[in-house]
Amino acid sequence: MQFTVPKASLLPAFLLACVVGVTFGSLRYYGPESTVRMLHTSLKSMYDEQLEGKGIQKWRWSEIRGLMVEDPGDSPTDTRGNPYAMRVISGLYTEFQNSARYSLAKTDRFPREVRIAVVYSHANGQRYPIVYVVEKPVGVREWKLNATKTIQANFLN
C-alpha cells in the first residue's frame, strides 16, 4: 500500500515551515539568557582572535558594548569607560585564559530584570557561579547586561 500526497498540499506545508523557521530564527537571539550567551561568545571570539595575532577588531568591541547598559569605552584600554563594565569584561577574559567552561544554571525573573547564574568549570574540578544581572531598560527592546548590578550582586555584598 502506497500513500501519495497531493501536490496542492505541499505548498501550505512549505509556507508553514518557512514561517516557523523565520519566527524561531529571529527569536534565537532574543531574551536575557541570549544576552549572557552572546556576551560570552563575543568575548571568547575576541580572545581567540587575539591569540591568533589579529588584535581587537572594532566591530567586535562594538558588539560587546551593545550588550551592556554601561559603556565600557571605545576600547579595552579606554580609561573613560565604566569601571564596572570593564571589571565584568576582564573577569570573563580571565575565565577564557584559564580555559573555563561555562553553563547557564539558574534564572530568577523579575518584571524588567533577570538574574542568571552562570557556573564556570575548570579542568582541576573547581566550579563556581557568577550571577549576571540583565535588564530591559525603559524604551529599549533588547535585554542588556547591567555591569554595576552584576558586580554588586557578586562582590559587594
Q: What is the pLDDT of residue 27?
A: 46
Q: Which of 5, 14, 64, 31 is nearest to 142 (CA)?
A: 31
Q: What is the pLDDT of residue 132?
A: 96
Q: What is the pLDDT of residue 79?
A: 79
Instruction: Say if CB 78 and CB 46 are below 8 A apart.
Output: no
Q: What is the pLDDT of residue 140?
A: 84
Q: What is the pLDDT of residue 54?
A: 86
Q: What is the pLDDT of residue 19?
A: 61
10-residue mean pLDDT series, the chain (157 residues): 65 62 52 94 90 86 92 82 91 89 92 94 92 91 93 80
In angstroms, the CA 36 to CA 67 distance is 8
* pTM for this entry: 0.77
Strands 144-145 and 113-121: unpaired
In angstroms, the CA 95 to CA 118 distance is 12
Identify the bridge partners of residue 109 per DSSP, sorted by sequence position.
114
Q: What is the pLDDT of residue 10?
A: 62
Q: What is the pLDDT of residue 24?
A: 53
Q: Domains of the chain, with CATH numbers?
A: 31-155 (3.10.450)
In angstroms, the CA 111 to CA 140 distance is 14
